[in-house]
Amino acid sequence: MTTQHPTSTEHASTGAADPRDVDARDVDARDPGPASATTSTASRTAPPARTARPGSAIRSAEVLVTSPDRNFVTLRITTEDGVVGLGDATLNGRELSVVSYLRDHVVPLLVGRDAHRIEDTWQFLYRSAYWRRGPVTMAAIAAVDVALWDIKARYARMPLYQLLGGASRNGIMAYGHASGRDLPELFDSIRRHQDLGFRSIRVQTSVPGIDAVYGVAAQPSSGGRYDYEPAQRAPLPAEEDWDTRAYLRHIPAVFEAVRNEFGPELPLLHDGHHRMTPIQAARLGKDLEPYDLFWLEDCTPAENQEALRLVRQHTTTPLAIGEVFNTVWDYQTVIREQLIDYVRSAVTHTGGISALRRILDFAAQYQIKSGIHGPTDISPVGMAAALHLDLAIHNFGIQEYMQHGARTDEVFRQSFTFTDGFLHPGEQNGLGVVYDDEVADRFEYQPAYLPFNRLKDGTVHDW
Ligand code: EZ4
Ligand code: CO
């Protein structure tokens, strides 16, 4: 798979300035205004969404695939004015499905539409497909939605968060991923994250009796990256092990040791990654109460929202869920019944900024806060979208932040900052991300899979 960007060379940029903003600066002069928009609409048979403002009509939509440190799928939309917007469409381990959904079924619908009509385009893509929801569909819609928000903010010559209502805070508290095979490695990892500036830390460890487990990074001694990247470039998925009883015995002691070492203040998080039954999750939540977790994430498989009722009855450990959810419907029971404390959806996997904002506004009525998903499989474009939303919403909780590799940062030139544990999307117009085709083209798509789990007797288990 190669990238598709026929106009890439004319957009190539080497300096810090974004050439798309130069395009945007002249927009007012070319904008024909409402009168000519009416004329234009009347003179054509196409629906109004396609023709209302000729300058902001979508000229091209390109699906870009690159694999600097891992695979990323990006949608780039360009208007007749030459204003460019980016959207992240990366679905870890299933990347090419979204490429096809976009290229074969969505791009032909976009060309000629008015880029300003974000809500109309969202509803059109959601409803006209007839087949609703699902990670592939919603990642594709998210990419369009985010690219159109990027474009609108570039036309407005504002950072995107200004269009979402402006800043509700000065900075975005981020948590990092510490892990270790044993306590000394784990403590070392937590200290390294503190040195990087993180003030909140997710803790994952190996479990005695389990050979390979989710969330434990390659350690510096083994020469690998210090944070955790689960997808592996290989023709087949890696097999990991699971034993819930061993896990439930081990984890509380780990958190006791971490609290003793790092004191009561440090916010600590943990990811159960959908592996427990409701009663097992209830027990873990209870056992972890003395260690005052910021949250316990994905304690049960997320398809059954009602499972959280049982967990909730038994524990005051705050619960976070939703990284594999796609729409507000996946949250209906857990939000309305106040079964969770944090919404984990990514902008990228849940229909974009428009849709996640709706979910978070619904959550706000129940004092439920955001905890937007931010692993390395969310591209810098998806992360930027999350940061603009984080800054603007009132019910912000925390933002997950796994730093991307240096090659990824070369492909996606970004404006965000990370200072003393707080992220900020920066003040560039739009999302503040520029896609460098020349660098991206050096890294071809490589098949990669997430691992899966088997129990000791060979049974496939939730990963
Ligand atoms: O396993 O993003 O909370 N973070 C996570 C991630 C997910 C990956 C899957 O693509 O659970 O590490
Ligand atoms: Co998770």
Give the fold, CATH level 3, of 165-428. Answer: TIM Barrel (3.20.20)
Please give the full DSSP string across 332-353, using - where no structure is assigned. Answer: HHHHHTT--SEE---TTTTTHH
The per-residue pLDDT for 218 is 62
Determine the length of the chain: 463
Give the position, in ligand 1's atom list, of the atom nearest the Cα of 273: 11
Cβ atoms of residues 163 and 388 within 8 Å: no
Residue 422's alpha-carbon distances to 116, 163, 220, 390, 401, in angstroms, are 31, 21, 25, 11, 10
pLDDT tens, N- to C-terminus, the chain (463 residues)? 333 333 333 333 333 344 444 444 444 433 333 333 333 444 444 455 555 578 999 999 999 999 999 999 999 999 999 999 999 999 999 999 999 999 999 999 999 999 999 999 999 999 999 999 999 999 999 999 999 999 999 999 999 999 999 999 999 999 999 999 999 999 999 999 999 999 999 999 999 988 888 888 865 455 555 567 788 888 999 999 999 999 999 999 999 999 999 999 999 999 999 999 999 999 999 999 999 999 999 999 989 999 999 999 999 999 999 999 999 999 999 999 999 999 999 999 999 999 999 999 999 999 999 999 999 999 999 999 999 999 999 999 999 999 999 999 999 999 999 999 999 999 999 999 999 999 999 999 999 999 999 999 999 999 9
Q: Minimal CA–CA distance to 388: which of 117, 167, 141?
A: 167
- Residues 6 or more apart in contact with residue 220 via CB below 8 angstroms: 226
**The sheet that has 452-455: what strands, in order across it?**
239-242, 452-455, 460-461
Q: What are phi and psi of 228, to 5 degrees?
A: -105, 125
Best probe residue, ligand 1, of 373, 399, 402, 403 (max atoms within 8 Å of C-beta)? 373
Tokens linked to 201: 């830390």
Buried b (16+ CB within 10 A) or exposed e, 197-227: ebbbbbbbbbbeebeebbbbbebeeeeebbb
Distance 371 CA to ligand 1 centre (A): 13
Two tokens, residue 85: 């917007």
The catalytic residue among 101, 155, 175, 214 is 214
Distance CA 180, CA 363 (A): 34
CA 248 – CA 120 distance, rounded (Å): 48
273 carries an active-site annotation: yes
Domains 2-162 and 165-428 share a fold: no
At 209, phi and psi to the nearest 5?
100, -10
Asked whether 25 and 430 are in contact (CB, 8 A), the reply is no
What lies within 8 Å, CB to CB, of 31 at 6+ separation is 53, 55, 56
Nearest to 378 by CA among 91, 141, 68: 91
pLDDT given at position 52 = 58
Supply 184's token pair: 């000394």
Tell me, what's the pLDDT at 69? 94
Structure tokens at 386: 């999350």
**What is the residue with the minimal CA distance to atom 8 of ligand 1?**
375
Contact 178, 189 (CB under 8 A): yes
Which is the closest atom of ligand 1 to the Cα of 297?
3
Domain range annotation of the chain:
2-162, 165-428
Q: Which of 11, 193, 270, 273 is catalytic?
A: 273
Question: For residue 34, what are its two tokens?
Answer: 């409402």
CB 426 within 8 A of CB 390: no
Q: Does the Cβ of 371 fall within 6 Å of ligand 1?
A: no
Which residue owns the Cα nearest ligand 1 atom 10? 92
- From the CB of residue 345, how many other CB atoms can be counted at a distance below 10 Å? 29
Active site residue 401: no
Quote the pTM value.
Answer: 0.90
Name the burial class of residue 309, with classes exposed (0-12), middle (13-18) and buried (19+) by CB atoms within 10 angstroms of its CB: middle
Does the beta carbon of 272 lie inside 6 Å of ligand 1? no
CA nearest neighbour of 317 among 349, 280, 291: 291
The 10 Å Cβ neighbour count of residue 441 is 15
pLDDT of 23 reads: 44
Query: HSE of 268 in the Cβ direction (CA atoms, 13 Å)?
Result: 30
Interatomic CA distance for residues 463 and 455, integer angstroms = 11
Query: Given 1.10.167.10, 3.40.50.1100, 3.30.390.10, 3.90.1150.10, which CATH number is that of 2-162?
Result: 3.30.390.10
Distance in angstroms between the alpha carbons of the first and the last residue of the chain: 28
Phi/psi of residue 256, each to 5°?
A: -60, -45
| pLDDT on residue 35 | 37
Q: Does the beta carbon of 114 lie inside 6 Å of ligand 1?
A: no
